[in-house]
Structure 1
Amino acid sequence: MAIVLLVPIAWVVVAPDPGRIVGALLVASAAGWSLATRLWASWATPPTVDDALRGYLAVGCAIVVTALWLDRHRHPIIRRPWLGLALVGVACAAVVVLPAVCNASIPGRDALLPLLKGVVIVAEDAGCESRGSCERSFQLTADDGADPQEVARRLTRHLEDRGWRGVEHEAKACRPLGYLANPYRTCVSILHLRGPGTVEVLFNVFNPREPRISYASETP
């Protein structure tokens, strides 16, 4: 992750003569983050990789801010390179701004609503099937008697207008739900149905890094 380099780069830019002690502390904190991520952090639900990253940034910012404060008489902070100070500010802000990643969330209704004219909802369901996977489904039909293929075409255009690309019949269009330490992805698919609804639009939020349990078939 490039954000890991933000703290040491900020220190190199902001300090005219980077001290060895501060540099050693930053190297040690980066090594600690790497070790913690390797041995204890997990991408599985709920992910803890973001906690390790947030802790590393907090420690790094504390080291840099403390060093700047202790050296303020020899090198006043207001005379430090503005780019370095900006990088320090971004790194420290990331500690608060970096979103906490928890369990998978149920997709909101606003993923599809408001609907385009002429299409109505006949059924709706939402819930979490398993750890790290939640979904919301809409069964829809047209109030003008259009066939399922036409309803699917209308919904495809509607979803494309909302930023989804590549939505086709029985095919998923997916995109990341977040960045950095957020492993979740969100997908949408359109399915033809039989029954009260002619078309189903399915939204899914899942963790692709969630370990799946596989059962080996027993041979007689």
Structure 2
Amino acid sequence: MKGQEWYQASDVAEEYDEKRFSRGGQLIDRREKRAVLEALGPVEDKRVLEIACGTGRFTVMLADRGADIVGLDISSAMLQEGREKARDAGVDDHLEFMRGDAARLPFPDDHFDAVFAMRFFHLADTPAKFLSEMARVSKNQVFFDTFNDTSTRSIYNWLLPMGSRLYSDDEVRDLVTGANLRLAGAEHDFVLPYGLYRKLPDWLANSLRSADTSLGRTRVGDALASVSYWDARV
């Protein structure tokens, strides 16, 4: 995994949400949460696993909606932030945070109704292995996002400290097929890269987002989108 040591640092975990989801990053947070909720649907009493749960943004949100959820991450520091977030939200008694390796999930086959991962596959060195493990422990649904190789992100990707793995549409479809999954749906979004939004005040980011969304609805929107959300079935 790219950045494995970086993500395990305490100072990185403590500042993670503030650096990425404040200012214009708030709209990214809202969009990603909407993508997860729309994909998973009603989650009450569903058994759900989040891979690379980080500080628990999605884990806590789904626990609050009644999911029986486990958040797995390799970073103890990130998990500690998640536990504090769960306590603050009053849901710490009905979710579980677990340290573990996504390449060797400590669960039996078909253990969860749904398994998802957000902001994970751009760091994956062996994406086929990770996706196969997600498919193995899910009895119904696998949901994940990718950063795309035809997007504006490719222009500045080499400047990023860890870079990102960028995917073509065909590569993702091959990964899904290789994991014995069936693609049920895909959404493509954010013509402008995340990094630009995070540098702007929220009001300006929202204005820019309106233009971004309009462009995304055009014929070239999907081809230029920097992020894709993939919904697959076992």
TM-score by length of 2: 0.21
Whichever of the two has the greater Rg, that structure is: 1
More helix by share: 2
Instruction: Give the alignment's TM-score, normalised by structure 1.
Output: 0.22
